[in-house]
Structure 1
């Protein structure tokens, strides 16, 4: 069945992004001084576990922050769990401790930074003049705004005391080696977790423009910080960061390649649209459905049996009070657009195993919307209320994995026969 094949493709994509092998192949040069391991993100505990297995030298100090329920057993690296996507006090205290651990280092010391998606919320540390509550309020507004992750992280960066390369600047003159599991379209390392060790080229001016564009009503202290030019974040040419390195060790592109190879083995003509698709989830779902219908009706632009893959990170502008996530919202719009069409089956899921407030994602075909109505759910009403999770739950369409140990964002696969 195509449902089983789609789930196999998803698990192959996740396996390709797991840190175990990627960490061992990207170890930094040993220092003559101390080694301090820090990190943040939904995959960072698994990264820490893989690092301490591969690192056959002392680890002198450590602190890695991950989402509640995403921890991993480590013997030499301290793991702390905190809230995501809205920060909590556990993350705030961990971020403060992390900054303290990186003060007073020498040029002989090495800081290994294990960074993955989700680190922005897990390392809350407001800029001078802001309270922790201000940072929480900003984060809640950003999550409901429909802004892409790149825009959100530019704004977060300018309102933080730890993001935008500030953590690496705190470690100077020590060398900082950053290993990154990327969850951002295009794999810009400065945008993953708002780049605590990798500075952005964007600054206050860009952040102000984005706030205006998305009509955000920030707390007054946050607006005051953005209006000033005090305490700017480091620029890429900052001399404090001259000895630092960063490497993308896992990404959506690599995962899509792995899924395409698996699909080819199953006899499908595999095609990757892009690993960097952004936009409103329901709109992206409608476009993908149009492509699938074109293949089904005219055997173009790809020949059947076709496998169409894409990645990136869509967004959801919150209009209702339902339970959803960007992948299930994408798929609900897709299901409505292919209703009554046989031979099309699709999966959309988040590679970290949690899509918004729900499970990993869902699977749909031409009968999904019809079956929702039979179960007493109007799919159009569910979409308007951002309640795609419950719509798919009612027909047994959810994909349930639990935390996967990695995070390279959305994975979408469509089979057309």
Structure 2
């Protein structure tokens, strides 16, 4: 049988794992697809850095590779915006289906990419772009297509989850836990994309777009990282039966009983306290997990390896099998839909809850004055307690849900009060009743 030929763009950690698995599992893949799969070429920047790849497969001319007449499918694992975007557009124009792991590109320009794929009548699959080996995007796009999703909440960055897990387990500070993550290979030499939330924000945009049938880009996502989380924050969380996680939260927000009219989409990434009873609280180390709430299906959770060469390559090959089958059938698979076109709700208007620690003067009337400031901004207090006395007095307050702008304004006002020596900690709270 004539083989299906694959152009591989990139041969780093993920690309090399894809190449190896294509070779090792060649017979099984051929049986599952109905035709053998053959690598037509591997595009890299520096061929001399890949001595394990047959020299006849290596090329530095990626565009020529993806537009070759004998190439059927393109696998893109180079990452970044350019030249990946140009190469994918060239592949679509040449009638090639694409499998990508490029979360940044899909979060930045997914609408245009999907439109180009649809115009060409080919596939764009990208399971590996979010949560590594975890089957997540296809269930959102296909298995739950008959349901209405209300909320998708997840731990989608293994580096930050490892750091926060170690802080909880050992009492270490952020810098110490980051150093350990770097030494073990969980964090890059430049961890900015992970610890400042850029990686998770791109994934949140993709999840929200699929879940709510609404185009969402990374620029629409409110983003905060974990570099300001302290050992004290983590200890405070434990005191109220919580743990701290960096969460990607995608919500369809509306008025109860309105039939969906006026609903908006709220998408945010930030550290938050969650109860230890919540399924996401037990996700430790570099693992990922995503919690989905649907109107008919109820609560679902997806858990597994969220990064790494082999887990990500597993997702790439799963997509490759799907698009190869579609290619042989002469049709494209289901794409995304943006029919809902919901507005993206700004963070300021999004309802959230805060956990606030205040270093205060220990004298009569302090609690009443602090409570009055909350009332001034329309924020209701759920619980309050005082730890210590005298110069060591600390007020710990957990609010009810309120617009984030009102909570932020309350914190700003507290910082200006004479009786408040310092606002020592502010973290959002998720999942408390």
What TM-score, normalized to structure 2? 0.30
User: Larger strand proportion, structure 1 or 2?
Assistant: 2
* Structure number with larger C-alpha Rg: 2
What TM-score, normalized to structure 1? 0.31
